[in-house]
């Protein structure tokens, strides 16, 4: 799915990270803070170490039940984990948005044309 982000470039900027990628980095950081192996955390969460590894690398999109199990296995709450991921995405967004400004005409300051408008289909 990483290919999808390459289809929609934002004026040459790096693509925004996917939620699952940021979640994976956060889970790995929590596990590392506890000095645990993949196997130890995965066992408590009730999943295989291989699956946890794929989640941590942002390759798999875990269900909400799986995220809750991992949060519990890492002694955090689903709310705190979700908040941490959301805050990281917002920080990235602020950096990206601050790196260019659009003029009133719709073109950005660098003079490049904006993306074409998306036409919405109307229900008959």
Number of separate domains in the chain:
1
Residue 13: DSSP 8-state: B
Residue 35 lies in a domain: yes
Is pLDDT of 10 > 60? no
Residue 63 lies in a domain: yes
Residue 40 lies in a domain: yes
41, exposed or middle or buried, with CB in 10 Å at 0-12, 13-18, 19+?
Answer: buried
Angle at Cα 95 formed by Cα 90 and Cα 96, nearest 5°?
Answer: 95
Distances in whole angstroms, Cα of residue 59 to Cα of each of 1, 24, 120: 9, 9, 32
CB 86 within 8 A of CB 92: no
Least confident of 9-13, 19-23, 38-42: 9-13
Query: What is the arithmetic mean of pLDDT over 39-67?
Result: 97
Task: Enumerate the β-bridge partners of residue 10.
Answer: 13
Residue numbers of the domain that contains 73: 17-91
User: Can you give the pTM of this predicted structure?
Assistant: 0.68
CB 57 within 8 A of CB 20: no
Q: Which ranges in 1-124 belong to alpha helices (H)?
A: 2-7, 19-33, 38-45, 49-56, 64-73, 78-98
Residue 29 and residue 33: Cα distance in Å, rounded?
Answer: 6
Enter the tokens of residue 8: 């929609």
Q: What is the per-residue pLDDT across 70-102, written as a single tens digit (0 to 9) for each?
A: 999 999 999 999 999 999 999 988 776 555 434
Residue 37 lies in a domain: yes
Residue 102 lies in a domain: no
**CATH code of the domain in which 77 resides:** 1.10.260.40
Is pLDDT of 25 > 70? yes
Residue 2 lies in a domain: no
Residue 114 lies in a domain: no
Is pLDDT of 5 > 80? no
Residue 122 lies in a domain: no
């Amino acid at each position: 799915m990483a290919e999808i982000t390459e289809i929609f470039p934002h004026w040459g900027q790096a693509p925004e990270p996917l939620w699952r990628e940021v979640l994976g980095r956060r889970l790995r950081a929590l596990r590392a803070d506890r000095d645990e192996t993949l196997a130890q955390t995965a066992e408590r969460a009730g999943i295989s170490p291989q699956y946890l590894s794929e989640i941590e690398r942002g390759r798999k999109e875990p269900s909400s039940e799986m995220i809750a199990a991992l949060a519990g296995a890492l002694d955090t709450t689903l709310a705190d984990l979700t908040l941490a991921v959301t805050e990281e995405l917002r920080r990235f967004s602020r950096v990206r948005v601050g790196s260019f400004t659009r003029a009133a005409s719709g073109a950005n300051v660098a003079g490049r044309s904006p993306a074409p408008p998306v036409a919405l289909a109307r229900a008959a």
